[in-house]
């Protein structure tokens, strides 16, 4: 257990951004970019296959190199597989993009359902971005924080879902990709900032000081 006035050393800001940015880039931004390029130059089916192929290669590369596969990459690839099958069988761009919109509500529900667990889903996903020390992970205040911040992120996903649904119903594919991507990441960025501020205050209230960067010699 941690005592009062304890200092916990976490990775530097740069390291956290790299750890968070890499899975995001692999699981979302690159597949989206590949889809758009192939969609505009070749066709709808080519865009679907290109996006899914990238995600499959990202997982396959890690398995071959015996590196851990981030949970967010596995989840996003499985969801992308389902979306691709629907897109290929129906030929409908609306149904293809409707699924990630619905997934916002599914994620929100998953966060709320796992609130009763000792470690809710959000805490497990956080492990992909920052490896917290065991002494901090098992701290009661840390567990309470993840349960409470899960409510914040459930709200973020619901707002994203409603916004993208409205845009999808009223805009072209190109406008949808541009507006929904910019809007979604803006909301997510605000959620991240709010979570970090909340996290530091929760820990400070327990006498736990978080120091970013390497532990001094």
- What does the pLDDT look like over 75-123, one tens digit per residue? 888 888 988 998 899 988 888 888 778 888 988 998 898 888 777 888 7
Q: Give the pLDDT band of residue 50 (cuts 50, 70, 90).
A: very high
Spatial contact of 203 and 195, defined as CB atoms under 8 Å apart? no
For residues 132-142, give the mean pLDDT.
Answer: 68
What are the φ/ψ torsions at residue 212 (nearest 5 degrees)?
A: -85, 140
Spatial contact of 133 and 8, defined as CB atoms under 8 Å apart? yes
- What does the pLDDT look like over 182-210, one tens digit per residue? 777 788 778 878 887 887 787 776 666 66
Q: pTM score, two decimals?
A: 0.68
Q: Give the pLDDT band of residue 217 (cuts 50, 70, 90).
A: very low
DSSP for 109-148 reads: HHHHHGGGSSS-HHHHHHTTT----HHHHT-HHHHHHHHH
Q: Give the pLDDT band of residue 1 (cuts 50, 70, 90).
A: very low
How do beta strands 6-10 and 208-212 pair?
Answer: parallel
CA distance 184 to 136: 30
CA distances from 133 to 8, 25, 106, 118 (A): 8, 26, 30, 17
The alpha carbon of 32 is separated from its chain's Cα centroid by a whole number of angstroms, namely: 15
**What pLDDT, on a 0 to 100 scale, did the predictor assign at position 2?**
47
For residues 33-62, give the mean pLDDT.
Answer: 89
């Amino acid at each position: 257990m941690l005592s009062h006035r304890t200092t916990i050393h976490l990775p530097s800001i740069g390291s956290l951004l790299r750890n968070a940015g890499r899975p995001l880039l692999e699981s979302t931004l690159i597949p989206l970019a590949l889809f758009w390029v192939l969609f505009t130059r070749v066709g709808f089916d080519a865009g679907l296959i290109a996006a899914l192929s990238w995600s499959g290669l990202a997982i396959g590369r890690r398995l071959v190199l015996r590196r851990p596969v981030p949970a967010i990459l596995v989840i996003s690839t499985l969801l992308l597989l389902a979306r691709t099958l629907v897109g290929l069988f129906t030929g409908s761009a609306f149904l293809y993009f409707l699924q990630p919109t619905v997934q916002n509500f599914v994620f929100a529900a998953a966060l709320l359902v796992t609130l009763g667990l000792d470690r809710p889903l959000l805490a497990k996903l956080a492990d992909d971005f920052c490896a917290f020390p065991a002494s901090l992970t098992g701290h009661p205040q840390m567990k309470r924080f993840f349960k409470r911040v899960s409510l914040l992120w459930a709200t973020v996903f619901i707002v994203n879902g409603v916004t993208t649904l409205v845009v999808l119903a009223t805009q072209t594919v190109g406008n949808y990709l541009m507006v929904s991507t910019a809007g979604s990441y803006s909301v997510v960025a605000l959620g991240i900032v709010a979570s970090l501020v909340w996290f530091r205050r929760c820990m400070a209230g327990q006498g736990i000081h978080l120091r970013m960067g390497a532990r001094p010699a």
